[in-house]
Amino acid sequence: MTFATPDWKDRQVRLRVFARWARRIARTWIEQARGGEYVFLLFTAAFIGLLGGLAAIAFDIAIHLFQDGFWNVIEPRLADLREIPAWKIALVPAFGGLAVGLITTFLVAEARGHGVPEVIKAVALDGGRIRGRVAIAKTIASAITIGSGGSAGREGPIIQVGAAIGSRIGQAMGMSRRRLRTLVGCGAAAGIAATFNAPIAGALFSVEVILGEFGAAQFSPIVISSVIATVVARAWRGSAPAFSPPPCTFASAWELLPCALLGLLCGLVSFAYIRINDSAARFFEDRLRLPGWLRPALGGLLVGLLALALPQILGDGHGLSNDAFAGRIPPLLLLALVFAKMLATGATLGSGGSGGVFSPALAVGALLGACVGSLAEPVLGTRFGGLAAYSLVGMGGLVAGSMLAPITAILMVFEITSNYAIILPVMVASILSTVLAMRLTGNLSVYTFKLARDGIRLFRGGSPDLLRTRRVEAHMRTRVETAPPGESAATLLDRFLASDAAQFYVVDPAGALLGTISLSDTRRVLLSSPALVRILLAEDLMRRSTPCVTPDESLGTTLAKFTSSRLPELPAIRSSADRRLVGALAYSDVLAAYQDEVVKADSSP
């Protein structure tokens, strides 16, 4: 038998003490990093930027693999498509849509559509929580859609993929809801910056579109993530801009007139682009009686049939934009392609295909700008700055109008072309397009239009509505004091003195609400003569125009009713058509729910 020496036992005790000390210090550092160390958040943002850049590279590779598999050529151009048999052009997008339909129906439903509304919804309503499997499914589904010729862009999928990466990392680290939303914005910025080689526009897109609010504490990590993703993407594909327009300039102040007209046209076309996408989605979802997995195949077939006449509409539209820059498309064909590209995008994404709306919007804007430029050239003569300049202005105007993001559009055009000379007309067109589109759509973009149709209205550019997900039914009090309209005021006063209720509710024999009586109403009766008290009835004292709430109503919408009525509680009725009283909602309970949401937003899970 072997016995341990006293020195060895002493060393074991010291090692255990040291291990406990090391674990305690490590836990302290981790808690500080999670709760209060802003530097740790920046390091996390840098890591998300690294993964976002790698995800963008992987997405590009996947698209090229599917393009090679479907068409036997990487990034097929018009000359390549003209050599492909007509049956293949018609059926390949349908086959790709069928594969995507199976993925989105039986595996991950979030991979359907253009992805950005789902990210905005997750940020606004779910505290930034996104399932990790969305990143893989979205990459595969979107690569199939674009690779098979579907009219969809690359930025929407990579935004959703990057957002999913940021969300999963934040959830794994136990970040608070506020920081988790910031990390989702980091992932989205990384994705779009790596896709378009545009770090500034990627960061501003995330702040302006995804988060909907600006703050220095949020913007700094988003910028870090965007820069790191751009560096990673440039190491893979070089630092060349995403588009290659020929040299162009802003030749004369007179060009502001056709550019202003182009901005207004972009606003109108942006409205049409938003409505076409929404109408296509409603057609395939509500009116078409087909299984969900089969709808993308039908959408792909419609795109393929349209491509038999106009093969340029296939794909994300990058080649179409470059053709518009170079003036290789006649004016009448430019107009035809504007509407054909919008229809193809609506059929692809409205049917359930996977992809983005950003790149098609750039292509439509380039086509519209080239059309206006071809008309302005003979009028301006030597004061004409080049057809490519008008295409670039059109790109900025359509992105600004369709997404209600003028700052992102202005900087995006500058970064993806490395041309600062046309920034003035781009600014004019972007602002005019945004203002007109906002007026026509009711402040809804191509991203938030779908959310509004589903009953989700978001506060953009202001404080988030923390009570949006809370319903009246969960907070209303079902035990309330009621009175018939014929009850005497004297009896009612006695009941008020014996009860601790803030209000009495006058109801008819069927239980329908007729009015409310508050303590202030009874105070006026107490100050009147005893003879008047004996002849007054409950229906004489009640307020008939008291605002009501319904059980399925959001607590956020009740705050305005409390403000206008200045009452301590509001009656709850079954619905606007059925005024039977079911309870009452107290203002103090709404404030308690709001305080609870504030604590949740600022604390870790």
Q: Are 48 and 193 contained in the same domain?
A: yes
Residues 406 and 56: their CA atoms lie apart, in Å, by 25
Q: What type of residue is 58? A: A
Q: Is 190 inside a domain boundary?
A: yes
DSSP code of 481? E
Which helix (H) or strand (E) element contains residue 381? none
Report the 10 Å Cβ neighbour count for 85. 8
Q: What is the mean pLDDT of the chain?
A: 83
Q: Furthest-apart CA pair in the chain: how many Å? A: 107
Which of 163-177, 358-372, 390-404, 517-531 bottoms out in mean pLDDT, i.e. has the lowest? 517-531
Q: Please say if the pLDDT value at position 465 is more than 60.
A: no
pLDDT over threshold 90, residue 398: yes
Give the DSSP letter string of 501-535.
Answer: -SEEEEE-TT-BEEEEEEHHHHHHHHTS-HHHHHH
Say which amino acid occupies 159: I
Q: Does 381 lie in the same domain as 264?
A: yes
Domain assignment present for residue 462? The answer is no
Check: CB of residue 369 under 8 Å from CB of residue 395. yes
Q: How many domains are contained in the chain?
A: 3
**Angle between the 358-380 and 331-350 helix axes, to the nearest 10 degrees?**
170
Question: How many other CB atoms are found less than 10 A from the CB of residue 409?
Answer: 34
**HSE-CB of 590 using CA atoms within 13 angstroms:** 25
175 belongs to a structural domain = yes
Tell me the HSE value of 365 on the side-chain side, using a 13 A CA sphere. 34
Asked whether the beta carbons of 186 and 48 are under 8 A apart, the reply is: yes
Same domain, 220 and 263: no
**Where is average pLDDT lowest: 76-80, 181-185, 399-403, 423-427?**
76-80
Query: What is the CATH number for 593?
Result: 3.10.580.10
Mark whether 361 and 499 lie in a shared domain: no
Q: Is residue 59 part of a domain?
A: yes
In a domain, 24, yes or no: no
- Taking phi over 0 as left and psi of -120 to 50 as alpha, with beta for the rest, 217 belongs to alpha
- Angle, vertex CA 440, rays to CA 310 and CA 213, nearest 5: 100
pLDDT of residue 213: 66
CB 488 within 8 A of CB 537: yes
Task: Report the share of the chain in percent with pLDDT over 70.
Answer: 88
CATH number of the domain at 39, please.
1.10.3080.10
Query: Which residue among 426, 453, 480 closes a domain?
Result: 453
Check whether residue 215 and residue 270 sit in a common domain.
no
One domain for residues 342 and 441: yes
Model confidence, pTM: 0.73
Tens of pLDDT, residue by residue over 310-345, are 988 998 888 888 888 888 888 889 999 999 999 999
Shared domain check, 221 and 132: yes
- Residue 111 located in a structural domain: yes
| Beta carbons within 8 Å of 13's beta carbon, 6+ residues apart | none
Quick: pLDDT tens for 43-67: 889 999 999 999 999 999 999 999 8
Do 98 and 205 belong to one domain? yes
Residue 31 has pLDDT above 70, yes or no: no
**Average pLDDT estimate for 160-185:** 85
Candidate from 7-11, 279-283, 290-294 with smallest mean pLDDT: 7-11
Domain extent, residue 264, equals: 253-453
Are 229 and 262 within one domain?
no
In a shared domain, residues 337 and 218: no
Residues 206 and 99 in one domain: yes
Q: In this structure, is residue 463 part of a structural domain? A: no
What is the distance, to the nearest Å, from the Cα of residue 515 to the centroid of all Cα atoms in its chain?
Answer: 41
Q: Is the dihedral of CA 19, 25, 26, 27 positive or negative?
A: positive
336 and 222 inside one domain: no
Assess if residue 46 is contained within a domain: yes
In this structure, are residues 371 and 460 in contact, taking their beta carbons and an 8 Å threshold? Answer: no
- The predicted pLDDT at position 387 comes to 85
- 329 DSSP assignment: S
C-alpha–C-alpha distance, residues 545 and 363, integer Å = 54
